[in-house]
């Protein structure tokens, strides 16, 4: 039974963590030994991805790290790999990549090293240094997976040769359908009235998601007499939440905007929405976009990262940092139910063909088997 250890450095349970869990579940279904590991800094009381992985029945392990414990964490990773017959160690972030390289790269290792590059967000000198160090480290891995053409180009520029990199699309499984009564109750809990259309965005409230631009677009939409009544639902939490709530109050739209905070039932929430929106300044391939496609939602998104490739011509794309264009795109779909249904059906077909958990899992299994051979 082949063994795979996926290692994360995580403070939440967001897109990257979801990829790891979905992949772990598929590996387990196929008879592989699937392990989810996480680096635990001293200040972390809980590691949400480990909680979720345990809830889903996956094997889990924590590696305490930080300061003097870093050397011990490296040794613990080595011991875990050997004790559990791990054939592939798979990192999902710069920090996990570094620890895997220190544990397995400096010796004739017993397992193969793989990493998935989900995104590099360089809004500070510190993160720019991390990105540079990560790219140097990835040159020593057996294989590097990217989730968008832009990241593949960056890896090539960083010196990772074509034969040691490939692109594998993220994949998700979907929630069961909601009954009409369940959907109605869920919509009311989100602040939507019976005649409202629910516009939903999901993600961490950080500068890259550009929720400030989304709130500006929604304010323009709400002030437009041609717009049907609607409720904007922002699912997620983060350092900008209080600032965004204040911005909604200042623009006079606070009663029409619902901040849910962090939620584990994102799949169910999407089934209660009417349209999905992404306002990001930078993205790779958002997992929640794939969930929205699978939930048969029409999508309005910014033209960044892997989004255009994922949606093709089945969504409305607008430039980033343009609230006027974003507002106009949202209004065009709100006022055209026929087009909403057509785009939603086409997006769902794209999800089924390319972005299911099975499609992603089989692609990774094929890669693992090739490396093990």
pLDDT of 124 above 80: no
**Residue predicted with more confidence, 154 or 345:** 345
For 3, 51, 175, 256, 301, the CA distances from 272, given in Å and listed in that order, are 38, 26, 12, 16, 19
User: In CATH, which superfamily holds the domain spanning 3-172+356-372?
Assistant: Glycogen Phosphorylase B; (3.40.50.2000)
The mean of the pLDDT values for the chain is: 91
- Which residue(s) pair with 64 in the sheet? 40
**Residue predicted with more confidence, 354 or 303:** 303
* Cα–Cα distance for residue pair 160/156, rounded to 1 Å: 5
Confidence of residue 186 (pLDDT cuts 50, 70, 90): very high
Among 195, 184, 191, which residue's Cα sits nearest to residue 257?
191
pLDDT value of residue 343: 98
* Cα–Cα distance for residue pair 120/151, rounded to 1 Å: 8
- Which residue(s) pair with 232 in the sheet? 199, 257
pLDDT value of residue 176: 73
Provide the token pair at 354. 């390319």
Q: In sequence order, what E strands does the chain have? A: 3-9, 33-40, 59-64, 88-91, 112-117, 143-146, 165-167, 197-202, 230-235, 257-261, 275-278, 299-302, 316-318
pLDDT digits (tens, 9 = 90+) for 283-341: 878 889 999 999 999 999 999 988 999 999 999 999 999 999 999 999 999 999 999 99
- The reply to whether 180-354 shares the fold of 3-172+356-372 is yes
pLDDT of 279 above 70: yes
String of DSSP letters for 244-270? HHHHHHHTT-GGGEEEEES-S-HHHHH
Contact 9, 40 (CB under 8 A): no
Helix (H, G, I), strand (E, B) or coil at 103: helix
> Within its chain, how far is the Cα of 13 from the centroid?
9
pLDDT digits (tens, 9 = 90+) for 218-248: 999 999 999 999 999 999 999 999 999 999 9
pLDDT of 110 above 80: no
pLDDT value of residue 120: 63
pLDDT value of residue 123: 56
For 90, 176, 340, the CA distances from 179, given in Å and listed in that order, are 39, 10, 21
Measure the N-to-C terminal CA separation of the chain; round to a whole number of Å: 14
Check: CATH 1.20.272.10 for 180-354? Answer: no
- Answering whether pTM is above 0.85, one says no
- Which residue(s) pair with 230 in the sheet? 197
For 37, 49, 285, 327, the CA distances from 19, given in Å and listed in that order, are 13, 11, 11, 31
Q: What angle do CA 113, 117, 119 make, to 5 degrees?
A: 160
String of DSSP letters for 148-170? SHHHHHHHHHTT--GGGEEE---
**Residue predicted with more confidence, 42 or 348:** 348
> Within its chain, how far is the Cα of 340 from the centroid?
24
pLDDT of 127 above 70: no
How many Cβ atoms are within 10 Å of 55's Cβ, its own excluded?
Answer: 10
String of DSSP letters for 124-152? SHHHHHHHHHHHHHHTTSSEEEESSHHHH
Confidence of residue 130 (pLDDT cuts 50, 70, 90): low
pLDDT value of residue 14: 72
- The mean pLDDT value for 50-57 works out to 94
Domain edges within the chain: 3-172+356-372, 180-354
Dihedral (Cα; 280, 281, 285, 288), 10-degree rounding: -10
pLDDT of 107 above 70: no
pLDDT value of residue 138: 86
Provide the token pair at 245. 């709530």
Q: What angle do CA 284, 286, 287 make, to 5 degrees?
A: 140
**Residue predicted with more confidence, 147 or 255:** 255
> Within its chain, how far is the Cα of 342 from the centroid?
26
């Amino acid at each position: 039974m082949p063994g795979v250890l996926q290692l994360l450095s995580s403070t939440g349970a967001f897109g990257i963590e979801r990829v790891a869990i979905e992949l772990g579940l598929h590996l387990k279904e196929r008879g592989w030994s699937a392990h989810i590991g996480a680096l635990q800094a001293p200040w972390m009381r809980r590691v949400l991805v480990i909680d979720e992985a345990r809830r889903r029945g996956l094997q889990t392990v924590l590696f305490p790290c930080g300061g003097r414990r870093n050397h011990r964490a490296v040794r613990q990773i080595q011991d875990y790999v050997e004790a559990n017959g791990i054939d592939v160690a798979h990192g999902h972030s710069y920090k996990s990549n570094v620890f895997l390289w220190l544990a397995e790269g400096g010796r004739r290792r017993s397992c193969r090293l793989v990493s998935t590059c989900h995104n590099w967000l360089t809004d500070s000198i510190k993160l720019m240094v991390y990105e540079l160090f990560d790219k140097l480290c990835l040159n020593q891995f057996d294989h590097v997976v990217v989730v968008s053409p832009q990241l593949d180009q960056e890896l090539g520029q960083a010196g990772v040769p074509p034969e040691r990199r490939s692109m594998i699309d993220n994949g998700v499984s979907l929630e069961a359908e909601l009954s009409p009564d369940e959907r109605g109750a869920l919509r009311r809990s989100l602040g939507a009235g019976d005649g409202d259309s629910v516009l939903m965005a999901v993600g961490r409230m950080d500068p890259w998601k550009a929720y400030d631009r989304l709130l500006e677009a929604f304010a323009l939409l709400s002030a437009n007499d041609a717009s049907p009544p609607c409720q904007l639902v922002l699912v997620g939490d983060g350092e900008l939440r209080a600032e965004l709530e204040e911005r909604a109050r200042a623009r006079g739209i606070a009663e029409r905007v619902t901040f849910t905070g962090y939620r584990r039932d994102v799949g169910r929430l999407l089934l209660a929405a009417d349209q999905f929106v992404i306002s990001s300044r930078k993205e790779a391939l958002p997992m929640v976009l794939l969930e929205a496609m699978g939930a048969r939602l029409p999508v309005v998104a910014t033209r960044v990262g892997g989004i255009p490739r994922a949606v093709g011509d089945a969504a409305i794309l607008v430039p980033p940092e343009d609230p006027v264009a974003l507002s106009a795109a949202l209004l065009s779909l709100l006022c055209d139910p026929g087009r909403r249904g057509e785009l939603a059906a086409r997006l769902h077909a794209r999800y089924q063909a390319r972005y299911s958990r099975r499609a992603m899992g089989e692609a990774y299994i094929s890669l693992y088997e090739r490396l093990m051979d």
